[in-house]
Amino acid sequence: MIRQEAPGPTAPGSCRWLLAAALLLVGAQPAASGTTQAAPGAVPGVQPEPAAAAAPPESAAAPAAQPEPGVSTQQSADGADEPPSTDGWNFEEEDDGWDFEDDEEGDDGWGFEDDEGGDAWSFGDEEEDAETWGALLRDQAADLVFFTGFAALVMVGFFRKSVWMKYATLAAAVAYLGFTKSQLISVVNVYGLMTGNMPVFRYNLAWYLFAGFTVVTTVLWGRLYCGRVCAFGALTQLMDRVVPAKLRVEVPAWLEPRAAWIKYGLLAATLAYFLATADIPAFRFVEPFWMFTLRGTTAMWIGLAVLLAATVFVRNLYCRFLCPVGAFLGILSKATVFRIKRWKECDTCKICEKACEWGAIQGPRIVMTECVRCDDCERLYADVKKCPHWLLLLRAKRRQRQAAPSVIPVRPVAST
Amino acid sequence: MRIPILALLLAGVVVMEGQSPFDPLLREQLGKLFPDAASFSPKEGSPPHFKAFAGNGDIVGFAFWTTELEPLERGYDGPIQVLVGVDLDAELTGIIVARHHEPYGYFSIDTPEYGAQFVRKSVRDRFRVGADIDSVATATITVRSATRAVRNGARRIARQFLSPDGGLR
């Protein structure tokens, strides 16, 4: 029997007007005004000033600003490596003499006419395209392979409910996603999502794989990302294994669900602040993920030290109560497809609730927005010696056997 | 809520009009790229660019905003606005990273070391991050995006205005 989870915290979805305001402002932004201060909503859409398209006004000293369209076949002195254009491929734009060495990588077809065939070696579109994507993939192959391997570890550990694989995943998350790549899902990605400023797809395939993995697993199973992928969460979970248990303070049950709301407040506040000021670097005071870059101000390091010190006493303090990304994924995980199974015995049994390190089990229900799929409770469900569901089944069978031993010969249940 | 937005919009337009060609900050930035130039044109032409003039009125170079020449280029969070100077030998005179929203920009593209790598770099050179331009391990997306924008923008200016043999075309 699968129970629906109870109404958890709701999305701070009412900042739509703020978004609209930001979009309005974006249109009015003097994109190339050269100011360094961040103006509100100064994000995307750079419009070349229309007036600038007119003829050059007072610059009389600009003799040959316009290229002569028909001129071609002039051989550049420095372009010794440029094959002579005797092969019949007389592309107009190819003969501008500019012969960039690495254009076969850089020539990415972003639609600038003059960029298209600027390199003299491109003889066919298909060949060029294949080469371009090949080069792109070759550049990013290492990242793609490493992340795919990591994702495989995450999923295999998750499906096998394996404890050691989970800790291997956490260690890999800290080492690879943390200190090596330092690319965790950040509230900055939520900013980017809101303002349509995502990294260029073809250059950041591994990042898109990472972000896609995060969203898909969250919708399918819940906050798997928080439980296994996020390097900071992994760090605090590993810390929790080292810290002596007697130091730990359990958050009282009445406080737990209330404190979990703080992160939604923080998410809303951070987004509102961003939409109002377009100030990104402030995110570092909300998220500790910068720590993996090892670059922070003294104030930030002190804040981090305080946070980690507090995490010694309250396990996964940041993830449970403060993380805006966790809040965002929590909202997504309201839609979780494959939920954790609950027995009817769960109505009264408290074993899992006590075991849950994330405060995600409240009475008979699992709060999906808080659950990070750590598998602790699922391992308990599967344990025939601990879960009352199996114990009751076993007792029922025994009783049945005692009541009518001669009628139904039951093989003794494997009793270990 | 609508009135403050409109007021802000209006203020934005006024500010934009006011600072368009001869904004002192812009003038200062152009001066950094072309210390010997006597004057600069306002932004003009297609692709949009500034011209730097010597005292006698000769053109000594071009400057452009990467966001205008490579408007589709994105970093981790949005375009990275860089002012780039190109002289008549098709060498970069320098770059000024003016505005961006990169979370890890403060230790990658905002550093003087990043900009210094582009000074006197020819547009013919390769701009591979990791080989020709220093990579910053944890800010790859940012550094690569900024570098691509500078390279592609400068090459576009070169194709448009400069002769491969040197000088204007």
Min Cα–Cα distance to chain A from B167, Å: 10
User: With b meaning 16 or more CB within 10 Å and e meaning fewer, what string describes A86-109?
Assistant: eeeeeeebbbbbbbbebbebbbbe
Per-residue pLDDT at B118 exceeds 70: yes
CA dist., res. A135 & res. A120, Å (int):
17
Residues of B with Cβ-Cβ distance to A39 under 8 angstroms: 12
Per-residue pLDDT at B149 exceeds 60: yes
Residues of A with Cβ-Cβ distance to B81 under 8 angstroms: 31-32, 46
| Segment B110-132 mean pLDDT | 92
Going from the first residue of chain A to its last (416 residues), give the mean pLDDT of each consecutive group of 10, the final group possibly shorter: 41 43 43 38 40 40 40 39 41 52 44 40 33 80 94 95 94 94 91 89 92 96 95 95 89 89 94 87 87 90 95 93 95 92 87 90 90 92 88 88 66 60
Taking the Cβ of residue A59 and every Cβ of chain B, the question of whether any pair is shorter than 8 Å is answered with yes
User: With b meaning 16 or more CB within 10 Å and e meaning fewer, what string describes A192-213?
Assistant: bebbebbbbeebbbbbebbbeb
Residues of B with Cβ-Cβ distance to A198 under 8 angstroms: 74
Q: Which of B148, B156, B169 sits opposite A112 (nearest CB)?
A: B156
* Residue A218 CB coordination number (10 Å): 23
Q: Which of A34, A39, A106 sits opposite B23 (nearest CB)?
A: A34
Kindly state the tokens that stand for A220.
Answer: 């399918």
Q: Cα-flanking dihedrals φ and ψ of residue B156, to 5°?
A: -65, -45
Beta bridge partners of A361: A366
At A409 the pLDDT is 58
CB B32 within 8 A of CB B118: no
CA dist., res. B72 & res. A42, Å (int):
15
- Residue type for B110, please? D
- Determine which of A112, A187, A198, A287 to mutate to test the interface with B (most B C-beta atoms within 10 Å): A112
pTM of the model: 0.72
**Cβ distance of A67 and B169 shorter than 8 Å:** yes
Query: If residue B63 lies in a helix (H) or strand (E), which one and from where to where?
Result: strand B59-65
Question: B41: which DSSP letter?
Answer: P
Taking the Cβ of residue A52 and every Cβ of chain B, the question of whether any pair is shorter than 8 Å is answered with yes
Residues of B with Cβ-Cβ distance to A45 under 8 angstroms: 71
Q: Which of A99, A181, A199 sits opposite B75 (nearest CB)?
A: A199
Q: Which of A48, A186, A203 sits opposite B144 (nearest CB)?
A: A203
CB A333 within 8 A of CB A351: no
Taking the Cβ of residue A290 and every Cβ of chain B, the question of whether any pair is shorter than 8 Å is answered with yes
Q: In what order do the strands lie in the sheet with B50-53?
A: B39-40, B50-53, B59-65, B81-87, B92-99
Q: Cα-flanking dihedrals φ and ψ of residue A288, to 5°?
A: -90, 10
Kindly state the tokens that stand for B140.
Answer: 């790859």
CB A324 within 8 A of CB A285: no
| Chain B CA closest to residue A64 | B169
At A77 the pLDDT is 39
| Chain A CA closest to residue B4 | A21
Average the pLDDT over each of A276-280, A352-356, B63-67, B153-157 and give the range with the smallest value.
Answer: A276-280
At A214 the pLDDT is 96
pLDDT above 90 covers what percent of chain B?
61
At B138 the pLDDT is 86
Average the pLDDT over each of A169-183, B61-75, B137-151, B155-169 and give the range with the smallest value.
Answer: B155-169
At A370 the pLDDT is 93
Interface predicted TM-score of the whole assembly (ipTM), two decimals: 0.81
Helix, strand, coil distribution of chain A in percent, nearest 5 = 55, 0, 45
Min Cα–Cα distance to chain B from A300, Å: 14
Looking at A183-338, list the stretches that DSSP marks H as alpha helix, in order from N- to C-terminal side: 187-195, 205-221, 224, 231-242, 255-259, 262-277, 298-313, 317, 324-332
Contacts of A300 (CB under 8 A, 6+ apart): A284, A285, A290
Kindly state the tokens that stand for A171.
Answer: 């260690």
Residues of B with Cβ-Cβ distance to A49 under 8 angstroms: 20, 43, 48
Question: A174: which DSSP letter?
Answer: I
At A29 the pLDDT is 42
